[in-house]
A and B are shown apart, each in its own frame.
Chain A
Amino acid sequence: MTRHFTKDHEWIEVANGIGTVGITDYAQHALGDVVYVELPAVGKALVQKQEAAVVESVKAASDVFSPADGAVTGVNGGLADEPARLNGDPEGEAWMFRISLAKPEQVEALMDEAAYKTFCEGLG
């Protein structure tokens, strides 16, 4: 199972047509202390590169974009109660939402882990 990454620092991992989405460690580090997470409603249709969720640190609000088109099948509801978990394990237990992929090929076109690593290094 491979994981893909967007230039906006979201990750997506697909299993059986369902993509699990979160933000990367680079993203949580850039955001700082997360104090609020707004997750999409289950069933909501998301569009690639469109706003899907909101993550707020003490200082600022940031949009999380959907890495692909699809309907939301589930959310990590615990994050709303404990938003700071996003600073702990954003690429693991602090995943954000799941979508049933409408166009799986959109994911294949994203960066793989090596490409994303190079991309982040280029950001300095």
Chain B
Amino acid sequence: MQNPAPDIPLNHTPLDTLHRELGAKIVSFAGYAMPVQYPAGVMKEHLHTRRAAGLFDVSHMGQVLLHGDADAALEALTPADISALPRDRMRYTQFTTETGGIIDDLMVTRRAPAMLQLVVNAGGKAEDLNHLSAHLTSGVEIEYLADQALLALQGPQAAAVLARYVPGIDRMPFMTGMSAPLLGAPAYITRSGYTGEDGYEISIPNENAEPVARTLLSQAEVMPIGLGARDSLRLEACMCLYGHDIDQSTTPVEANLAWSIGKRRREQGGFKGAETIRRQLADPPARLRVALLPADRTPARDGTPILDAGGAVVGTVTSGGFSPSLDRPVAMGYVPTHLAFPGTELTLSVRGKPLAAKVVRMPFVPTRYFRG
């Protein structure tokens, strides 16, 4: 095995001291020193999140507020129906390119009638901010929340735990948000996440992050979870990882994210890449992102060639690894649309060896959202 790369100067989240105290293995991720795992290890952290509750530090992600009437401007950059978004409701969407590719994927929440909150990927935030400032109309102010931490509490026990500190928050439905004091801190809490489980994302001032995290971790159900398990959890839920499953060369339709495109937006267009995206909604695109289940225990990683029955390379794995919940490898990748039906038999070429795999329905592990 290879030695780790030498250290480079990194940004630190407000929980850095806590991560080290908890014995986390720290890695460089998108310019941040982040915990990839704690002493329990990826497998236990993953299974604990599915069984009880896990606390994730996702403060490296970009939190942005748009003040003013930003609806039309944001609709020009994303295929989501923003103007129909009620207060304290949120949507998943993508910044698209002129050709329908994806610049980044993000969550949009209407925190007030004239205030939208965006949560974007750590690796994309600089580019996203440039993109926003280049395209948002005058009268919209972009505020980057450098002083806000973001914690995720995920898992079937997350609601019971958080309701001890925010009474009633267990009744808040999936994909909604609310302002609430949390242990004395002004928090904005959404019922959302990146695991497929019920859970919350909690935006709080940096100075409150550590005491809030310590209190949540003091609860018997809660364990700290690193980026390693965050990745295996989202893979089981078939959620996209930017730079792997989606990028500027993939469209939301090809990525099987058409569900996130607003009905009115499909009909009217008016967003970057609308021509390509609307055409692909009418006539299926040439390829689609699918879930793949390898037949044996060999994991197929990102970059693994996908072969058809005749042995021709027809696609590539974009995310692949081991599913702790299923105790077997799982993968996602792009295949020609005629090979995207569940049940289709394909071959993965792992280190030159053919490995049988089957297209299966997404997600690998059923989601357990609380819809009220």
- Residues on A lying within 8 angstroms of B by beta carbon are 7-9, 23, 27, 30-33, 35-36, 38, 54-64, 80, 123
Contacts and interface: CB of A to CB of B under 8 A. Distances in A.
Contact of A123 (B3, B41, B42, B43): B3
B277 to A, nearest CB: 33
A59 B42 contact: yes
A33 B41 contact: yes
A71 B317 CA distance: 34
B322 A56 contact: yes
Interface stretch (B51-59, B64-72, B295-303): B295-303
Is chain B's interface secondary structure helix, strand, loop, or mixed overall?
mixed
B37 interface: yes
A59 B231 contact: yes
A58 B322 contact: yes
A58 B1 contact: no
Interface in B238-280: none
Given A58-B228, A59-B321, A61-B301, A32 B42 contact: yes
B4 interface: yes
A64 B1 contact: yes
Contact of B324 (A23, A56, A58): A58
A115 to B, nearest CB: 16
Contacts of B324: 58
Contacts of A7: 3
Of B1, B37, B228, B321, most buried by chain A (CB within 10 Å of CB) is B1
A59 B228 contact: yes
Interface string B27-45: 0000000001100011110
A37 to B, nearest CB: 9
Contacts, number: 64
B321 A55 contact: no
Assign chain B's interface to a size class.
20 to 34
B191 interface: no
Contacts of A64: 1
A58 B298 contact: no
Nearest to B42: A58
A118 to B, nearest CB: 15
A9 B1 contact: yes
B265 to A, nearest CB: 37
A62 B301 CA distance: 11
B232 interface: yes
B338 interface: no
B2 A36 contact: no
Given A35-B322, A36-B299, A58 B2 contact: no
22 contacts: A7-B3, A8-B2, A31-B1, A32-B25, A32-B41, A32-B42, A32-B43, A33-B41, A35-B322, A35-B329, A36-B322, A38-B351, A54-B351, A58-B228, A58-B229, A58-B321, A59-B42, A59-B321, A60-B301, A61-B299, A80-B297, A123-B3
A79 B228 CA distance: 23
Contact of B299 (A23, A27, A56, A123): A56
A83 B74 CA distance: 49
Contacts of B232: 58-59
